[in-house]
Amino acid sequence: MTTQRLDRTVLDRCRQLSTSTLSDALDKRGLPGAVEGLHPLIPEACIAGQAFTLAYLPVGASGGTVGDFIDDPGPGDVVVIDNRGRTDCTVWGNIMTEVAKRNGVEGTVVDGVNRDLQESLSLDYPIWSRQGHMRTGKDRVMLQAVNVPVCLGTVRVEPGDVICADGNGVVVIPLAYIYEVLAVAEDIEHKEEAILQDVRSGMTLGEARGRHGYHVLQTPDPA
């Protein structure tokens, strides 16, 4: 993969922020990135990593396999599987969970369904997907390409883009914007913390929000 690798400290900064705050920063910069409809298997999980992308297509008359890509991603990677939202067959299960966990992969995001939730829970390996199911994707879908642009719902993901996910769901931050989005997000986080401090010391929320410009925190700056 020729994608730029981010320093661990950048991913650590992402992990300090909720997907809410990161989504607000994307809004502030006029960028898409909030994925709809993918839910956490482990609501407490919070991950940040770079997208290792997989594009699946329905199998055709000539067949094809689900692939053996899972030996490749490692620490700092999030496996992103685009199965086009299909809920009738799975593209992730227990063996992949065990290998990914052993190899230090941050987590897996599936636009589709996954199986063997119990193994993921018992290994504390985080997954975001539409729902659980049990039927295999073998002989139903095939791995079309690795590390190509894919989609999560209506959100485009390029290989290497930053994937952050928590109890709220999944956001995608384009790699070229990561430092800018992080800076804006940290600024929003500080202002929201200041609002909370004011509220905790007895101010009404209306006063505290007014003092810190809450209602335009995510509003794009005028051009």
Binds its own copies (CB under 8 A): choice among 215, 221, 222, 223:
215
Q: How far is the CB of 218 from its own copies (least distance, A)?
A: 5
Binds its own copies (CB under 8 A): choice among 14, 66, 80, 178:
66
Distances (CA, A) of 53 to 119, 146, 203: 23, 6, 47
- Binding to its own copies by CB under 8 A, coded x per residue (else -) over 145-184, reads ---------------------xxxx-x-------------
List the structure tokens of 194: 């200041």
Pick from 149, 17, 37: nearest CA to 26: 17
Could you say which residues in the range 44-63 bind its own copies, by CB under 8 A? 44
Could you tell me what percentage of the chain is helix, strand and coil, using 3-state DSSP and rounding each to the nearest 5? 35, 30, 40
Cβ–Cβ contacts within 10 Å for residue 200, how many?
Answer: 9
Contact status, residue 28 vs residue 221, Cβ threshold 8 Å: yes
Q: How far is the CB of 4 from its own copies (least distance, A)?
A: 25
Cβ–Cβ contacts within 10 Å for residue 124, how many?
Answer: 10
Q: How far is the CB of 134 from its own copies (least distance, A)?
A: 4
Could you say which residues in the range 70-109 bind its own copies, by CB under 8 A? 70-71, 87-88, 90, 93-96, 98-99, 102
CA 223 to chain centre: 29
Binds its own copies (CB under 8 A): choice among 4, 16, 197, 219:
219
Could you say which residues in the range 120-139 bind its own copies, by CB under 8 A? 121, 131-136, 138-139
